[in-house]
Structure 1
Amino acid sequence: MVIMLIGNKRGATGALLVYDITRRDTFNQMTTWLEDARQHCNSNMVIMLIGNKSDLESRREVKKEEGEAFAREHGLVFMETSAKTAANVEEAFINTAKEIYEKIQEGER
């Protein structure tokens, strides 16, 4: 599980919360990691929830629908990626940047 901040800690404009779709324990920790990110960083930052290792479908323990539901419930952007094959990795950063830009344009940042 990884939290990557975009910007410095207090002034972060975005964060990527990454869990391993083949390890349920990493997904189960997302609530705690999300609370930590929101408590210690900018409350208006864009947070993307990423389910990684989508190339390992046969070992999947966390359904895509579970990630989507968690993201929807907590107002996060969601996608699945594979660092191994690079599937959706660039898109994750681009989509996060777009969301940040939209918030800036709306005056939320």
Structure 2
Amino acid sequence: MSNYTYNYIIKYIIIGDTGVGKSCILLQFTDKRFMPAHDLTIGVGFGTRFVTVDDQQIKLQIWDTAGQESFRSITRSYYRGAAGALLVYDITRRDTFEKLSGWLEDVRQHANPHTVITLIGNKNDLEKNRQVSREEAAQFAKDNGLFFLETSAKSSDNIEKAFVQTAQEIQRKIQEGDIDMNSETNGVKLAPPQGGSSLPANASSNSGGCC
């Protein structure tokens, strides 16, 4: 098995209401597959994958958090030290969109000020059941300084882009000095001195479950 050298390790979190497809997004990104039937995530799930941004090899460590209120005190601890956050709602369930402000407040309170947040409207393959317009979500993202994409964990539409675009913005902040590489609280670490990993590019320790 070949070694993969990398420049940075970047921590991501995926947050949002239960049932919006957070675990499915992670599974599609790390394993290139969709699991239509799954259990709810209990606490947190985890996955990894390598991506290349501006000729830099980056290892993403992605924490998939449970959406249930009963787990909020646990999942909030994972916000700390996250460089990127995917804030997910379900375009077919308006209630998940209406709760975004609470999730966003949580991130900004518990994560670091340089965390890059991307708003994700998932399940765009279910257009006929849409309850949240693309324009309304785009305006919410603009008002709150977020990136915005609609995705489908089922068809994989924009899944890759969601993670890579977030990494590109984090990379920009590193280059511009906004992220202090000497501080572990920023969610970005330089690779170990040996710079190697024996994991393949699509390696994942994802725990399954979709939400």
TM-score (norm 1): 0.93
Corresponding residue for residue 18 of structure 1:
88
Secondary structure of 1:42's counterpart equals coil
Q: CA deviation digits over 1:62-96, x for unaligned, max 9? A: 00011110110000000000001000001100101
Are residue 28 (structure 1) and residue 80 (structure 2) matched?
Answer: no
2:89–2:121 CA contact under 8 A, matched in 1: yes
Corresponding residue for residue 171 of structure 2:
101
Corresponding residue for residue 48 of structure 1:
118
Are residue 88 (structure 1) and residue 158 (structure 2) matched?
Answer: yes
State the one-letter code of the partner of 1:58: K
Question: Aligned pair count?
Answer: 108
State the one-letter code of the partner of 2:130: R
Larger Rg: 2
Structure 1: which 5+ runs fail to align? none
Q: Which has the higher contact order (CA 8 A, sep 6+)?
A: 2
Corresponding residue for residue 78 of structure 1:
148
Secondary structure of 2:154's counterpart equals coil
1:27–1:62 CA contact under 8 A, matched in 2: yes
Off by >6 Å, runs of 4+ in structure 1: none
Deviation at 1:6, TM superposition (A): 5.2
